[in-house]
Amino acid sequence: MSESPVTAPVCYRHPAKETYVRCTRCERPICPDCMNAASVGHQCPECVAEGRRTQRSARTAFGGSVAGRDGVVTRTLIGINVLAMVISVATGGMTAVAGGGWGGLLGQSTPLTDWGSVIGYATYGPFDSELHGVAAGEWYRLVTAMFLHYGVLHLLMNMYALWILGRELEAVLGRLRFAALYVLAGLGGNVAAYLFSAPNAATAGASTAVFGLMAATFVVLRRLNMSVAPILPIIMINVLFTFVVANISVAGHLGGLVTGALVAAILAYAPRERRNLIQGVGCGAVAALLLLAAILRTVDLLG
């Protein structure tokens, strides 16, 4: 009686390919096209996928995803600001490049900055009969103003600060939490400008958010028991700069600074238990308070 020929095992995904390698987890035969190197041996695609589903993703000290280390949110924010500047230059001509103001730092307004800056309740000029501003229902200004700049030098200074501070904070907080910090700090500065500036004063710039990032860096360093020496002089110099130089929104800068510190404290000091819930509710509460303040200011201007 003849014995059946011994056949070589074949890959379970590619039956035409003989193989003597087996997945170290499920022990099914796998060919070189299906092999995934593991700490010991090789694994098949299904076992690799299952391992990824059951593996807990790495988190930062404040609960964010470590994906923030690539700085994609910081780069995106810079891209939005630069794009807005390009559009502003296109609509306003060379006045948007240098313009007036302190050493050309603060350029003249353009149609885009007129449209998107924080204005309380006023016309664009003596030849405009229509009232504009947040009190006129243009609430979007509280957001758009943080992406608009008066002049290229104004833009470059803010983007340099955003590049330096943003990447570090995004890596520590994670993408979502960093984005929330940036937007809320910018919103806080713009609401403060709306509250405390003259109704016809126009303010814009990412510096409201940047001041918030400075304050957040201070809070995060303290929370991590690290030295605040690198950031404290920068905060002090920029606050002094705010009061000394003309045509700078004191309320906007200080509002962004305070809001950034508050949001950072919520993110950094939330207890590990229910951390996501506390951080989310806390940030939502800050947004609600800012909205309430803006509503009360609107009622006051219209009354």
Rounded Cα distance between 94 and 107, Å, is 9
Long-range contacts of 281-290 (CB under 8 A, 24+ apart): 283/180, 283/184, 286/184, 286/188, 286/259, 286/262, 287/184, 287/187, 290/184, 290/187, 290/188, 290/191, 290/259
Torsion of CA 36, 37, 40, 42, to 10 degrees: 30
CA distance 124 to 127: 8
How many CA atoms lie within 13 Å of 284's alpha carbon, on the beta-carbon side? 6
Q: Which of 42, 149, 154, 253 is catalytic?
A: 253
Smallest CA-to-CA distance from 139 within 253, 247, 290 is with 290
Question: How far is the C-alpha of 155 from the C-alpha of 178, rounded, in Å?
Answer: 20
Q: Which of 109, 117, 197, 207 is catalytic?
A: 207
Asked whether the beta carbons of 158 and 210 are under 8 A apart, the reply is yes
CA distances from 3 to 6, 7, 20, 26 (A): 9, 12, 22, 30
Q: How far apart are CA 290 and CA 287, in angstroms?
A: 5
4 is catalytic: no
Is 253 tagged catalytic?
yes
Q: Are the beta carbons of 30 and 42 closer than 8 angstroms?
A: yes
- Catalytic annotation, residues: 207, 253
